[in-house]
Structure formats: C-alpha cells, structure tokens
Amino acid sequence: MSWLVDAASWACLLAGGFFCLVGAIGLVRMPDFYTRMHAASVTDTLGAGLVLLGLMLQAGLTLVTVKLLMVGLLLFFSAPVAAHALTKAAMMRGLAPKLAEYDVSAPAPPSPLPRPLSPHAGRGEVPESRSD
C-alpha cells in the first residue's frame, strides 16, 4: 500500500512540476500582459497545488500536512483574486490586449468573400453604374 501512496505522490509532484514549467515558459513566450497573467495564474493555482498535494501525500497524517493544506488554501484563494485584480487594474489604466499582430505597411489580406456593389445587389436589381 505504501508504494501506491508513493506513486500517487510522485505523479502529483511530476504533474505539478510540469505545469510550473509550462507556466514559466508561457511567461517568457506570451505576447502581452493578459496572456502572461493567465500563464502565471495557472502556474500558481494548478502547478503549486499539485506539488503541495504530492508533498501532503509524502508527509502522511501529521502536522506538516495541515500546514501544507493551509498554504494550499491560501494559494488557491489568493492567486486567482490577485491575478484578477492586476488584470482589472491594467484594463482600467487603458492597457489594451494584443489581439492580432500585423504590419501596417503591408497590403491588406484579400477578403474571403467579394463585396457587393450596393446594398441591393444580389436581390434582382441592377446595380448603379458609375461614371468616372
């Protein structure tokens, strides 16, 4: 039975370490503040939570487990609230999210559908002729 607890503990520790590593890479690679904040909050909540769960399984039923549980609850409730507060403060200061990145000097990409000549085109009416 001890090997089962050890295996579950190591699985939690490895999964938590993986999420922390992915979150750290996300902090470096993401393009703007909002996506970086998302990567950081996932790392705090899920990665640290799994590491703490793995440590609790290693500690057994002791006072150390209670202390780790208290730290986990503190992280579980405070990390998302802090991320939300920082994100809301950035929005209030006018920091716009980076939705798309393109070169302004480059020609516009082609439209996937042709635009009609007038609002009534395609309904049986003849479009107005232009005199240039």
d(CA 14, CA 97): 33
pLDDT reported for residue 99: 74
Q: Judge whether 108 lies within some domain.
A: no
Q: Judge whether 32 lies within some domain.
A: yes
Q: Judge whether 61 lies within some domain.
A: yes
Domain count, the chain: 1
Structure confidence by residue, pLDDT tens digits, 118-130: 555 555 555 555 5
Question: Which tokens is 74 given?
Answer: 């503190």
Q: Give every residue of the chain whose pLDDT is below 70, as ranges.
A: 100-132
Judge whether 45 and 32 are in contact, CB under 8 Å.
no
Averaged pLDDT of the chain: 81
pTM for the full model?
0.65
Q: From 50, 25, 48, 23, select the one nearest 38 (Cα to Cα).
A: 23
d(CA 80, CA 34): 13
- Domain of residue 42: give its range: 2-92
Q: What percent of the chain has pLDDT over 90?
A: 32
For residue 57, with 0-12 CB atoms within 10 Å meaning exposed, 13-18 middle and 19 or more buried, which class applies? Answer: buried
